[in-house]
Structure 1
Amino acid sequence: MATAVALAAGVTAATAAPAHHAPKHGKQSKHVLLISVDGMHQSDLEWYVAHHPASTLAKLTHRGAEYTQAATSNPSDSDPGGTALMTGGNPKTTGIYYDVEYSHTTDQPGAPCIPGKPATGGDVIYDSPDDALAKVPDFLNPSNGTYPSFDENGSVYPGDVDKNPAAIMRLRNNASSFNASTFPVDPATCRPIMPWDYVGDNSMFQVIHRAGLRTAWSDKHAVYLSFNGPGSNGKSIDDFFGPEIDSQAVEPNGVPYPQDDDWAHIDAATKQYDNYKVQAILNEIDGKGHSGTTRTGTPAIFGMNFQTVSVAQKSRSTSANLIKNADGSYTPSVPQAGGYQRVGGQLVPGPVLSSALDYVDAQLGRMESQLRKDGLARSTTVIVTAKHGQSPQDPNKLVTVKDGPIVDAVNAAWAKTHPNNTKLIVAGTNDDLWQSYLSDRSQAAADFVKSYLWNHTAQGLTVNKQPVTLQHSGLTQIWAGAASAKFFGVPTSNGHYPDVFGKVREGVVYAGPTKLAEHGGMNPGDQHVLMLVDGPGIRHGVNNTPVETTQVAPTVLSVLGLSPNELTAVRAEGTKVLPGL
């Protein structure tokens, strides 16, 4: 609790208050099923419905409310995007800017710490390297290195060798899933900060759990137990299921995929991976825990994220399906083109992405069928949206740039006049945005980085891997120091925001030439996502009012008959329930 007080002032008192019910209006739901189709744009929805008029997605648009101008958080990375869905807050109140970030208000993991001394600053990494078993030898070729364990804490597979991936349904995520020594350290106590205590706002799971209702969620990393919210001790999500997507992909018969990669880089494997989370949802609809072995009752709030579309959007070429052979073995299908392509002058999903959308639609159909079978269709609100989009959609706009040489050049230029500080940029993750954390937090240092980036000419590669020169390091706008704090709406004393923040030219991705797209930035492809709501009393219609994914959390509480004002982000940011409901 001391950590929650130190990092999220005001949240503890709010989360300790009794839950209040919202004024009843129209029909209320007993359950909310929330689905994040990571990467899916509003344009993807429109294309799919037009070409598949009998699909589940088409039926949802015909029955429910469709919001055509929905935007994600900014930055639009998975962690701030997912946290926005669960809390109703943007990074300025949640304090979550990326899944791999830095904070000037914490100490570095493993560094000497004296309680009460000023913070030295440190990495804030809530990702698969934090798994209790982050280094499991490659099953196919141990000399190739390691992967994190599929079950994070080694509770499912003896010796960590995954020979039956379906057994992952027995996974139970909790604090034992983590190696807490990798977490940022609270300088007040010198203790690691658990993922849920780093979040600056309480979550809808806390409000719903405190009201005596059951909660559940399935996601791609155990660290998304952060959605439990500060001061929860990780216990406001009653049933969390987070098989590690960065682990080695293994076919259903226990044989590693011949591509020797993780679940997030082979779309056939990603579908198999998502299937486990889909099964968890089906079990929960049926009134059981995610494993299907215990009867618990259907949660009031539950759901999952799909990764299949995101992987299909980013992959240049990948197998879309896994073919079962007569002898019981499996063969990944012949790799096809990922991303989007031009057909008749129109930009449309390519073969792998089209297959991924078919897959997601079919799984949504299975969930709807299970709701009807269990008599829950008339008491369940279904929300389909996305934590983030993906940019660029047009592959001809893609330019990949290696950011490492740029960072090194900035540091070298600074060191010429500051020989005692040879590393000005100490941290930052640049996907299709730029963010740097500085060892010198003066405005002069921030302005130095901004000036260097703006006057630097970067070298990149087009989608066809042809060299191209980019002005301004590939950026179109840069906020530095106080301007960055103002951009995010926080005081300069707030230590979580990046000291230098930049918007890229559409299509620029700071990576090697292996990807077609990325997320995290603020171009339309990053942020313009689908938003569908269907359930009891929801009026059908197309709503063109601009909305944000932060509005999901207060909407969930409202349709369950709970007060959105129980969320600290709602009170701090004025986040509204989705209009027209």
Structure 2
Amino acid sequence: MKAIRRWMCVQRTIGASVAMLAALHAAGAVAGDSGEHGREHEHEHEPVKHVLLLSFDGLHEQDVARCIGSNSCPNLALLAKSGMNYTNAYTPGLSDSFPGLAALVTGGSPKSAGLFYDVSYDRTLYAPSDTGCTGKQGWNVVFDETTGVDGENGGALTHLDGGGAFNPQAIPHALIKGVCQPVYPHNYIKTNTVFEVVKKHKRDARTAWADKHAWGYDWLNGPSGIGVDDLSRTEINSIDPATKTNYTDVYTHTEIFDNFHVQSLIAEIDGRDSTGKLRADVPTLFGTNFQTLSVAQKATVDTGGGYLDASFTPGPQVAGAIAYLDDALGRIVSELKQRGLYSSTAIIVTAKHGQSPTDHSKLVKNGDTLSKLLEANNYLDPNGNFGQNATTSGNLNDGTGLVDTGMVQSDDVGLVWLRDQSQLAAVVKTLKGNLGCNAPGICADGPQAYILYGPQIAARFGDPALGRTPDIIVQPNPGVIYTSSTSKDEEHGGNAPDDSHLGLVVSVPGARRAGQTIDDPVLTTQVAPTILRLLDLRPELLHSVAVEGTRALPGFERERF
């Protein structure tokens, strides 16, 4: 319960009410329908023409503080010196890559964005094969590496671009106004994105992004389907022809994958598209995701992965990954300077999520006792016989998963969509009767563990009765991973402290407030309205910002920064 109260405290300190937004309109502090602020306002920094957003996945605030203090990330330190370093930034309740990135680019939590995990469930959807929407509803949605056509029928992921198209077996259907329609990732997100807003309201704007899955991240386009002009299609789980393995086997191999993204950014800075082949305007809003640090953090301590102690002292792999990321940042900044763009480019460095546990002494690999407990009590079919766990081929996203089964998604958190929602009270009673760490216990008996359901989950994440929100969220003790895997010692997805407390540096060259450290509690949802403020656009053009009352980051709340 302490963890819930801490989260609510953060929400209260940063949440703006709808009434306050209305007051700003009435006072003339918010521009009119054109979407752009009047140019007569005098800014305390150079006019921002470009915003570059970088997600160093896994980057904790403690990593930033330690590497700046030890001078092991000189390029990031220079950005912090020229900008603002937010030391108390958190994800909005869940820390998987989907909700983590959605926070940064929509200004919303899963409640308004509708993204809980890259593998989730929606009670309103029909199977990919049900093109008439005549069968049962309730589909286990999988928008990951198998969303590309290479993954069709469980095929090998042989192409860096995921095969160049969507896997039709990965695309469920929805009945919309009596018409059965496919639900691509951009249809799945429930709110618009900064890319859409910038394209629509900024004259001659261009947008670009690169991420780890070639087709699953199509949702960045937003409901319009066209928010990102240049969405680089790169798949981290594809097979590298040189090694015959994917790019996640060891962090130095992941560096090769992340270098594709660095090359894309440099090409875009140089006035070309992400491939470097076609001429294009330098994007108004662009950025990418880096996976090297995340892979190094997950690697077992026995192999040099993770951290050495509770003080975030990096092990050899994490130290190497941070050095790589800082070098990559230096290369990008150098290119901006060479092209005369540095003084007009705001740079935001943060992360979709952290990683847990950094203190290896807290690690508990509990196995998936949560699913086993639910199966044993007949709340789910036994032996994982539900959703996409029960495909004909045994591979995810081959289109033959079971419909209307409910599901569990677990890493260091447990998201539970019940097969029968009328069993909620019985399920919660069963979970609360098995909170200990001895099997079949779910290891959620500590002061920072909690079980969300009913009105609490509806208030924070939306009403489960509408189909998308889990019926129950189980946050186990910090350090618990619902896995027996011997290949990783850290994970993410939940709301453990190491998952959610992230680094966040915003650099605006020429700003008078350069070099400030901001200790106020903030959420990563505040990045999106800040991006729009930097580009002289109204934050409320983002639907999630308007609905959730998300403020820009401290120092960027008003027109005069």
- TM above 0.5, yes or no, is yes
> Are 1:399 and 2:364 an aligned pair?
yes
Relative distance call for 1:576 and 1:446 in structure 2 (3 A) is same
> Are 1:338 and 2:305 an aligned pair?
yes
Q: Percent identity?
A: 37
Relative distance call for 1:53 and 1:518 in structure 2 (3 A) is closer
CA contact (8 A) 2:296 2:317 kept: yes
The Cα shift of 1:242 comes to 2.8
Q: 2:408 maps to which residue?
A: 428
The Cα shift of 1:527 comes to 0.5
Between Structure 1 and Structure 2, the one with more strand by share is 1
Distance in 1 between the 2:279 and 2:379 partners? 62
The Cα shift of 1:146 comes to 5.5
CA contact (8 A) 1:429 1:436 kept: yes
Q: Structure 2 matches for 1:451-462, cutoff 5 A?
A: 451-456=429-434
Deviations 1:82-137 (CA, angstroms, capped at 9, x unpaired): 1111111111101111110001121233247446x9x722112211121111169x
Relative distance call for 1:246 and 1:496 in structure 2 (3 A) is same
Q: 2:89 maps to which residue?
A: 70
Q: 1:303 maps to which residue?
A: 287
> Are 1:240 and 2:215 an aligned pair?
no
Relative distance call for 1:132 and 1:19 in structure 2 (3 A) is farther
Q: 2:117 maps to which residue?
A: 98
Q: 1:12 maps to which residue?
A: none
CA contact (8 A) 2:73 2:322 kept: no
Distance in 2 between the 1:550 and 1:280 partners? 26
CA contact (8 A) 1:70 1:548 kept: yes
Aligned mate of 1:204, from 194, 209, 219: 194
Match of 1:428, SS state, is: strand
Deviations 1:193-251 (CA, angstroms, capped at 9, x unpaired): 01111111111101111133000001011221211111x1x322111113111112x2x
Letter in 2 for 1:436: V
CA contact (8 A) 2:145 2:237 kept: yes
Q: 1:513 maps to which residue?
A: 485
> Are 1:286 and 2:286 an aligned pair?
no
CA contact (8 A) 1:132 1:152 kept: no
The TM-score with structure 1 as length reference comes to: 0.79
CA contact (8 A) 1:390 1:525 kept: yes
Q: 1:10 maps to which residue?
A: none
Q: Structure 2 matches for 1:456-475, cutoff 5 A?
A: 456=434, 471-474=441-444
Distance in 2 between the 1:450 and 1:150 partners? 44
Deviations 1:291-326 (CA, angstroms, capped at 9, x unpaired): 1112212100011011000000001169xxxxxxxx
Match of 2:308, SS state, is: strand
Letter in 2 for 1:271: E
Q: 2:343 maps to which residue?
A: 378
> Are 1:569 and 2:528 an aligned pair?
no
Distance in 1 between the 2:424 and 2:341 partners? 55
Relative distance call for 1:472 and 1:114 in structure 2 (3 A) is closer
Q: Structure 2 matches for 1:106-255, cutoff 5 A?
A: 106-111=125-130, 113-114=132-133, 120-134=137-151, 147-154=156-163, 177-188=165-176, 189-210=179-200, 211=202, 212-222=204-214, 223-230=216-223, 232=224, 234-248=225-239, 250=240, 254-255=241-242
Q: 2:394 maps to which residue?
A: none
Deviations 1:335-379 (CA, angstroms, capped at 9, x unpaired): x4100003xx84400000000000000000001100110001100
Letter in 1 for 2:424: A
CA contact (8 A) 2:269 2:335 kept: yes
Deviations 1:492-517 (CA, angstroms, capped at 9, x unpaired): 53211101111110000011232111
Question: Which ranges of structure 2 fall in alignment gaps of 5 or more residues?
Answer: 1-31, 387-403, 557-561
CA contact (8 A) 1:216 1:302 kept: yes
Distance in 2 between the 1:269 and 1:54 partners? 21
205-214 vs 187-196, greater mean Cα deviation: 187-196
CA contact (8 A) 1:83 1:89 kept: yes
Q: 1:477 maps to which residue?
A: 450
Match of 1:217, SS state, is: strand
Q: 1:355 maps to which residue?
A: 320
Distance in 1 between the 2:86 and 2:212 partners? 26
> Are 1:314 and 2:333 an aligned pair?
no
Letter in 1 for 2:220: F
The TM-score with structure 2 as length reference comes to: 0.82
Relative distance call for 1:574 and 1:85 in structure 2 (3 A) is same
CA contact (8 A) 2:103 2:109 kept: yes
Relative distance call for 1:303 and 1:347 in structure 2 (3 A) is closer
Question: Which ranges of structure 1 fall in alignment gaps of 5 or more residues?
Answer: 1-16, 137-144, 156-176, 319-335, 460-467
Letter in 2 for 1:217: W
Relative distance call for 1:407 and 1:360 in structure 2 (3 A) is same
The Cα shift of 1:255 comes to 2.5
> Are 1:498 and 2:470 an aligned pair?
yes
Distance in 2 between the 1:53 and 1:67 partners? 19
CA contact (8 A) 2:370 2:482 kept: no
Relative distance call for 1:59 and 1:576 in structure 2 (3 A) is same
Q: 1:273 maps to which residue?
A: 257
Relative distance call for 1:153 and 1:73 in structure 2 (3 A) is same
Q: 2:554 maps to which residue?
A: 579
Letter in 2 for 1:30: K
> Are 1:551 and 2:526 an aligned pair?
yes
Q: 2:107 maps to which residue?
A: 88
Letter in 1 for 2:425: D
Residues paired across the two proteins, number = 491
Match of 2:431, SS state, is: helix
Match of 2:266, SS state, is: helix
CA contact (8 A) 1:453 1:473 kept: no
Relative distance call for 1:410 and 1:288 in structure 2 (3 A) is same
Letter in 1 for 2:547: A
